[in-house]
Homo-oligomer: A and B are copies of this chain.
């Protein structure tokens, strides 16, 4: 195979006809495949299914602090659940609060609090300050952007690099006192799969910002290694403390992609001042999250982090082949053509693919017409608009390996067709 840039117009036209024929063949197969969302597969769920047996009517329900898990109470969560996340996140247990089944919910509630009540006793609510802005490393997580957009914040995209957001740009933008915060997925970022370097974390901790600037540190993939290699990311809470900005970071994580996506437990971690402010709200909001589910998790992972890691290894055994199908197909069918690039992460849930500029929407539509659903183009950008129309988020976990092989083949054909259309029309 030759690079497209080295082909003559005739070669390109012939290549397009060949691909169109293969595409038409797939069109006749009534495919219905989905690579759109970062959902664990049924096989992954099965790997945790015995957690459903942990608590039953004959279980000893006694907790370390002798709390009645069936009754009301315990705003911060069971101490044993807090300790489990303390190990997972590498954050002291006193900084940790357990939530319900969704870390997104904890983020939304926290940002809503900042918006309506301020990000601390000393600060005016963002709604009162008006014109507040939020930094959005892009490509990034659409549901993050969705929260900020809902709150009417101005979303400012910041380019991602292999070591995290472009810190020169971040530092410049963060000086604006109307910039109130930033979304970060520091490890195996959604969707690039890349992790923040130590320098990035230190610069985030040190940079000049408004005093009520907050980093939403969504450590969703903190233990989600896929390969022998695994990335290490510095603890932002710690770095912020060292840098004299102890209130800057609020951490989030969950077991949604460890146990069950719909019935895991979520967590928030913050320094004392932020935590007091957050608990002041939570104290009015709820009497406490579901403690039975907390107990279910800590009993299932009875040896703490050690058990969690063994479980994640089991999951990696299921997920890695999915990534490999996509990556090896890309390697074979796209690499020699030199028309696009993609990431090859050590963990997480996504591969980020950059097609030829101006073709991502066309690729999406070609796939869709053929029965292959991809993440909406632009979803990884603030306001759903990818300025280069090139980025696609590939989520390999949910489809079966067979489905994935077909879907990836369709995707590769679509990427090549769209590129050829573009080159030939120019």
Contact = CB atoms under 8 A, between A and B. Distances in A.
Contact of A71 (B50, B112, B260): B260
Interface stretch (A9-17, A55-63, A220-228, A409-417): A55-63
A109 B113 CA distance: 11
Interface in A24-38: 37
Nearest to A69: B262
A229 B171 CA distance: 69
A285 B109 contact: yes
Interface residues of A, number: 57
B146 A108 contact: no
Contacts of A146: 283-284
A71 B39 contact: yes
A49 interface: yes
A100 interface: yes
A127 interface: yes
A128 interface: yes
Name, among A37, A71, A293, the residue most crowded by chain B CB atoms within 10 Å (CB to CB).
A71
A94 interface: no
Contacts of A288: 102, 262
B262 A292 contact: yes
Contact of A284 (B39, B147, B263): B147
A181 to B, nearest CB: 16
Name, among A42, A68, A69, the residue most crowded by chain B CB atoms within 10 Å (CB to CB).
A68
Given A52-B57, A59-B52, A108 B70 contact: no
Interface in A63-105: 68-74, 100-102, 104-105
A150 B281 contact: yes
A277 to B, nearest CB: 12
A313 interface: no
A196 to B, nearest CB: 25
Interface of A: 37, 39-40, 42, 45, 49-50, 52-53, 55-57, 59, 68-74, 100-102, 104-105, 108-109, 112, 115-117, 125, 127-128, 143, 146-147, 150-151, 256, 260-263, 280-281, 283-293
Top 3 A-B residue pairs of the complex, sorted by shortest distance between their CB atoms: A116-B116, A108-B285, A150-B284
Given A101-B289, A108-B285, A150-B281, 6 more contacts: A45-B68, A53-B57, A72-B256, A115-B116, A261-B287, A262-B288
